[in-house]
Structure 1
């Protein structure tokens, strides 16, 4: 086991995100109807620079909310054709339950793969 020099933010869908997904046109395997319960079984985890203070998490949200949201939206609408036009940090918090973890551990003996998504 290895301790990573990272902290983490976890996002879990709330009802507005589930409604947005349900509003997407069908016809793509990716956009099959999904319930809020199904969405909340797995959240996405975003690693960040190791937090020293509680305020570090709040600052990452201020700095990165749009990147986080774009990544969540792109998982369902890759080209952004149906992304909501009204996006702000306040609305982001309405769409996602946000939690954080100070420490992150790697249980795998496999090398960590890093793939740039930009």
Structure 2
């Protein structure tokens, strides 16, 4: 078991509606289900993953970076991003999910950061 928790941000209908609205191609038919099919997993410390309160506190402290990362995954053109990105909007757009038990089934194989 790893000393980490797995944090996922699930898109709400409000976020998906916005993504469809600003799609520069004008043909987006994204649904909540399709937006949430393959989510980024953020590893957090086991202390953060320990309780819903510590998860929420950590996400609130890091919501700017998380928000920008999620937006960048959809649109690299920052002019398409909402100008008022704050904790209130973040909470409307994302459902926070955290799992505190992470099992590494690749024992003996190192974890490698491919972006490093």
Would the TM-score normalized by the shorter structure come out above 0.5? yes
1:30-61 per-residue CA deviation (whole Å, 9 max, x = no partner) reads x8532222112333221111126423212211
Moved over 3 A (4+): none
Structure-2 residue corresponding to 1:35: 31
Structure-1 residue corresponding to 2:93: 95
Query: By percentage of residues, which structure has more helix?
Result: 2
Task: Note the aligned Cα RMSD (angstroms).
Answer: 2.3
CA contact (8 A) 1:12 1:44 kept: no
Gaps of 5+ in 1: none
Q: Which TM-score applies when normalising by structure 2?
A: 0.81
Structure-1 residue corresponding to 2:45: 49
- Partner Cα separation in structure 2 for residue 80 and residue 65 of structure 1: 17
- Note the C-alpha offset of 1:116: 4.9
Structure-1 residue corresponding to 2:9: 11
Structure-2 residue corresponding to 1:82: 80
Task: Find the residue that maps to 1:81 and give its secondary structure.
Answer: helix
Query: By percentage of residues, which structure has more strand?
Result: 1
Structure-2 residue corresponding to 1:113: 112
Deviates more, 1:36-45 or 1:92-101: 36-45
- Note the C-alpha offset of 1:115: 4.2
Gaps of 5+ in 2: none
